[in-house]
Chain A
Amino acid sequence: MKHSFIDKYGNLDSFIHRLDARIKLIALFSFILIAVSEPRGILCPFIWYGMIIAFLVLASRVPVRFILGRCLVVSPFILLAAVFFPLSSMITGDFRGFEAYRYEYAVALSIALKAFSAIILLTLLVSTEKFHNLLLGLRQMKMPRLVGIISALMYRYIFILSDEALKTNMARESRTPGKLKMNKFRVYGNQSAMIFLRSLDRSRIIYNSMLSRGFTGEFPAMRDTGITAKDAAFLFFFILILLAIRLTNPGILCLNNLIRF
């Protein structure tokens, strides 16, 4: 089948790949807590956050194009959410001319920046660790077992879905020489219902095959997952730098308040 795994870059080697899964998870959570809690409309620190993210991406050796592709997929949703804020101020109350909404623009931009940084880091996390190890890490961090099973199955389910979609697409296209002459919505509706039903069936079989090999919801690990001094040092400095940015709000790089509006 043509699809690729979500964690297809999980086998590359870089210092980020070598970090323990738990360290990466905690680092991501800390980033989200610290950067995403920046007050609305504050933009300067994001230059610094951006540099950290860029450094991590380059260090990970995950292709930048791949990560940008992920951002592209979610960008409509993020942009929609961001545009909503100035737009809603413009249409509620008297319109004061586009110049008058600088604060709203800044808020919109900060929403978008927060969302994109979180998405990039999340993509990076999933691309620098085997999915299995992430689940294992989450389990070690006391994630409930059921959530683990569900995530493992979801992970697999995505491939089944895309598999079935590919197959039904081929089946449909092989019988449509040109444009669809029938009601499009009905055809696509039927097709997606079919995809879901078949995927459901196949997931049950896959779950059976996991059970038949002794799966009980645990994720026993083959390789060592000890946290090393290096891991701890990375996490310590990572959080330290984030906190420094968050608390001091360094404005040095905001040339002439260029992006302060």
Chain B
Amino acid sequence: MSAGIHIRNLSFSYSGGKPALKNVSLDVKPGGKLGIIGPSGSGKSTLLLHLNGILNDGHGHVEIGGTKVEKKTLPEIRKMVGLVFQNPDDQLFNPTVEEDVEFGPLNFGYTREEVSLRVREALRSMNLSGFEKLTSHHLSLGERKRVALATVLAISPRVIAFDEPFSSLDPGMISQLVALINNLDATLVIVSQLLMPLIACCQDIAVLRDGEIQAAGPKEEILRDRDLLRSNGMDPGFYLDIYQEYFM
């Protein structure tokens, strides 16, 4: 089911801007779970947009499940890679939850029976059964994030890429989302500024800064390197220090 990701020497600049990605190489094996951390503006979202070819005119090579991302493979690539955007409001644009979840499968040409089956299944797996006829923009943020995820799950992608899935969620909603993510049967790439939930979801972690991969490897290795984390504006020890100062 899952597909591997293979990125070699990917460089990209927005028109008129400085390079947003410089010579990025990354591998995720089928079923692997990669977390990407890095300061704001380091190119994390830009990298995700390359995974399903929304951006595809950079230099370098991106391959999903053995298929090279290029103009002529886009339909195939987009069926394979689901993107969950940071702000669910950017992903939900239909009047009802059901219509938003239908959108992907319909575009990919599934039969109506298949589409309604997929919608039901995607909503069920996100604990959203019964939400079909509701209006997305009346739901809470946590619910909207789950609907956004359902819109992607309905395509049954073999790779799912998340952009900041945990941002602005309260701790209860975060742990619920972590549980849902850990139940997914796909290769995962998760960009997050929040280290703890990321650790709970991923085996590997890559650190991106100024468009370059600073380090990548098993999470145990990366997280032990406190200097690396601190120099990338990510220091879980910061909280530990506060805790120790006041309560120990």
Contacts and interface: CB of A to CB of B under 8 A. Distances in A.
Interface string B63-80: 000000000000100110
Contacts of A131: 95
B78 A211 contact: yes
A211 B54 contact: yes
B75 A214 contact: yes
A206 B93 contact: yes
A215 interface: yes
Contact of B90 (A7, A206, A215): A206
Contact of A210 (B79, B93, B95, B137): B93
A130 B95 contact: yes
B104 interface: yes
Interface in A131-176: 131-132, 156, 159, 163
Interface in A1-19: 1, 5, 7-8, 10-11
Given A205-B90, A206-B93, A222-B102, A216 B115 contact: no
A214 B85 contact: no
Interface stretch (B106-114, B167-175, B216-224): B106-114
B131 interface: no
6 nearest A-B pairs in the assembled complex, by CB-CB distance: A214-B107, A213-B104, A220-B106, A212-B83, A209-B91, A205-B90
A10 B54 contact: no
Interface in A51-92: none
A211 B93 CA distance: 13
Interface of A: 1, 5, 7-8, 10-11, 130-132, 156, 159, 163, 202, 205-206, 208-216, 218, 220-222
A10 B115 CA distance: 22
12 contacts: A1-B89, A11-B133, A132-B99, A202-B90, A205-B90, A206-B93, A209-B83, A210-B103, A213-B82, A214-B78, A214-B79, A222-B102
Contacts of B151: 213
Given A5-B95, A213-B152, A208 B107 contact: no
A1 B137 contact: yes
B24 interface: no
Contacts of B85: 205, 208-209
Q: B81, B85, B87, B90 — which one has the most chain A CB atoms within 10 A of its CB?
A: B90
Nearest to A222: B102
Contact of A208 (B49, B75, B102, B112): B49
A211 B56 CA distance: 13
Contacts of A220: 106-107, 109
Interface size class, chain B: 35 or more
Contact of A218 (B99, B107, B137, B155): B107
Nearest to A220: B106
A8 B108 CA distance: 27
Interface of B: 49, 52, 54, 75, 78-79, 81-83, 85, 87, 89-91, 93-96, 99, 102-104, 106-109, 112, 115-116, 133, 135, 137, 151-152, 155
Contacts of A215: 103, 107
Contact of A7 (B83, B91, B95, B112): B95
Nearest to A206: B90
B95 A11 contact: yes
Contacts of A156: 93
Given A205-B90, A222-B102, A222-B112, A216 B83 contact: no
B115 A222 contact: yes
A161 B87 CA distance: 16
Contacts of B133: 11
Nearest to A203: B90
Nearest to B148: A209
B93 A213 contact: no
Given A11-B96, A11-B133, A209-B85, 14 more contacts: A205-B90, A209-B91, A210-B93, A213-B107, A213-B152, A213-B155, A214-B78, A214-B107, A216-B75, A216-B107, A220-B107, A220-B109, A222-B102, A222-B116
A219 B99 CA distance: 12
A173 B49 CA distance: 36
B106 A222 contact: yes
